[in-house]
Structure formats: structure tokens, C-alpha cells
Amino acid sequence: MKHLSIIVPDGQNNLSSIIGAYKLFTRANEYWKECGRGELFDIQLVGVSPRVEFYNGLVTVNPHTQISSIRKTDLIIIPSLNHHYQKAIKENEPLIGWLRKQYKDGAEIASICTGAFILASTGLLTGKRCSTHWAVAEQFRSMFPKVHLQTDQLITDECGIYTNGGAYSFLNLIIYLIEKYYDRQTAIFCSKVFQIEMDRQSQSTFTIFTGQKMHGDEMVKKAQAYIESKLHEKISAERLSSMFSVSRRTFDRRFIKATGNTPVEYSQRVRVESAKKAFETSRKTINEVMYEVGYSDVKAFREVFRKITGISPLEYRNKYNKEALL
């Protein structure tokens, strides 16, 4: 039998991903027993401490065991964290060394949502792809610049390390892992029992783009502000670089380093975010919104919108604005 360690970190208040993972894997085990194959995993909640309080003492969790008692495990799940990530890392330092050792000894590791901060602090994500909640992408990039963050991806799977996007999308990761460890039939059964959509790959539709501003490059901040204030104008990178008296190459390099996007990509994301808000709050047509955000070609607008959100402008409007259907 394989061993599954669902981590219960110290000083955290996010219980849902711990209990959700435990319930789904437990049901997968039960399904295998019903099919005559026996349990696949010995499932344990594993803590840094023997007792952890959640929600200011409202709920107390007594993990089955502590990390110091686990010599070898096969799969580790790191749940989501509170918003104080530096504090979370410091409070769980023993966990970080344990994760490195277990991975070296052959364990696979999955992080849920902001649990990626703990995983990244081990160094195991360096040079690898990673996802986390889109709302903390900027902070994550500033703390772990050597990790290839891809917040458009709902799930990443690389070298026995899995990460996923934000909030309750962890359910999709657990279904993914169940399919990988058990089989497709078990994953489908669990998805039906818990009513979780199968094969969801992107969290782009849910992203709210606020601009990457957590950097110290004042020139880039001014360029960002200019792009955001000239939504209806087509602004070239050459024009922007000349405004700040630097070469195009220097401007692009600094912009990408600070924001993670090229100037063109940044402009596209600002315009699409404005279009999304218009679709959510007004009865304007696709063409009206398209012109408002500086596009004149329907095909080009549709392609950029789909690239960033994962769905078409019409699908987005129908999904988030019921009045538009009346």
C-alpha cells in the first residue's frame, strides 16, 4: 500500500483544502475496495505539531502523526496558506527540509493554491513550471523569480511535482491525481459523487488583471500608467521607449523583467480586462465594447480575448451577464 501525507501546516487558517483532499482520496479508496481491488493509499493528516488550531480556535485539528514520524511517503499534498507567506514559511521551517528529503527519496509533491509558497521555498520548483492563485502572482514572482509561474494553467505536472491554481480549483487537482494514481474510472466516479468538473485546464476565465506593480522600476511604472490611461490608442513599444529616452531593447528588457509581460502583452491584458468589466456590467454589444477598448478588427479582438481568458467574448458575456441574454 502507498502512503499519502496531507500536510497540516502550523499557524494557518485554511482548512477546506485539507479536508477536501482527505475526503476525495478516502472515497477513491472506498471505491477501489468496492471494486475488489483493496485500498491504494494509507491516508494520513501529517502535522508539524501534534495539535493545530484553525479559525482562531474555532476548529482544532489533531493530525494522525507528525512529519518527524514519517520516514517515507509516496505522495504529499501541501494545502493553501494564509496571506502572510513569509510568516508561514518561517513557522513551518521543519516542513521545508522534510519535503526536500522526501522528494529526494522518491515522493511526489502536490501544492494547492498558495501552498506553492511553501513548495517554492524548498527550492524544488526552481527552473520548473508552477501555478498558484492569480491574485498572488506578483508577490510570488518577486519572492521566487527563478520559478516559471504560469497562472493561466490550472494544473502543472513536472518531474513528480504538481501545482494548481486558486481557491476551490484544488478539487480539480485532486481529481487529476486520483486519475493518475488510481485510474480514469475512479476519477470519473469521484467527479460525479462530488460534482466536480472533469478535465478543466485553465483558470484564466477567473483572473482579474490589476497590473503588476510590485517592482521598483519607476520608468516601467510610468509606462504602465501611460498604457492604462491611453486605452483607446494604439501605442507602439518604439513610442514608449522614445518617451523615456532609452533604446527599444533596453525598454523591453526592463518592462519584461518588472512585469513578466512584454509591453504589447501588457497592453492587451489591460484592454481585455476593461472589456470584461464592460461585458459584466452593461448590455453593450461585442462590437461596441471592442471599439471602446481600442480594437477595430473583430477577429483580432476575439483572438486576443480568447488567448487571455480562455473563452470568446460572447461566451464571457453570456456567462457573467445574465441581463445580456434578455
* pLDDT, position 202: 75
Question: ∠ at Cα 185 (17, 201), nearest 5°?
Answer: 50
Within a domain: 210: no
Eight-state DSSP code of residue 56: T
What does each C-alpha distance from 270 to 63, 101, 232, 266 come to in angstroms?
45, 43, 11, 6
Of 151, 247, 261, 167, whose CA–CA distance to 213 is shortest? 261
State the Cα–Cα distance between residues 211 and 261, nearest whole angstrom: 10
Domain that holds residue 272: 218-325
Residues 308 and 190 in one domain: no
Residues 168 and 251 in one domain: no
* pLDDT, position 242: 93
Taking the chain (326 residues) in runs of 10, the rounded mean pLDDT of each run is 97 92 98 94 97 91 96 97 92 96 97 97 96 93 93 90 93 95 93 88 76 86 91 86 93 91 92 91 92 93 93 91 62
Tell me the helix, strand and coil percentages in the chain, rounded to 5. Answer: 50, 15, 35
Domains contained in the chain, number? 2
State the Cα–Cα distance between residues 159 and 124, nearest whole angstrom: 10
The domain that holds 275 is classified in CATH as 1.10.10.60
Residues 145 and 273 in one domain: no
* pLDDT, position 204: 76
The domain that holds 190 is classified in CATH as 3.40.50.880
Within a domain: 61: yes
* pLDDT, position 83: 84
Do residues 184 and 162 lie in contact, with contact meaning Cβ atoms separated by under 8 Å? no
State the Cα–Cα distance between residues 210 and 201, nearest whole angstrom: 22
Within a domain: 211: no
Question: ∠ at Cα 66 (62, 68), nearest 5°?
Answer: 165
Residues 53 and 171 in one domain: yes
CB count, 10 Å around CB of 195?
7
Within a domain: 19: yes
* pLDDT, position 296: 92
Within a domain: 80: yes
Q: What's the gap between Cα 135 and its chain centre?
A: 9
* pLDDT, position 211: 78
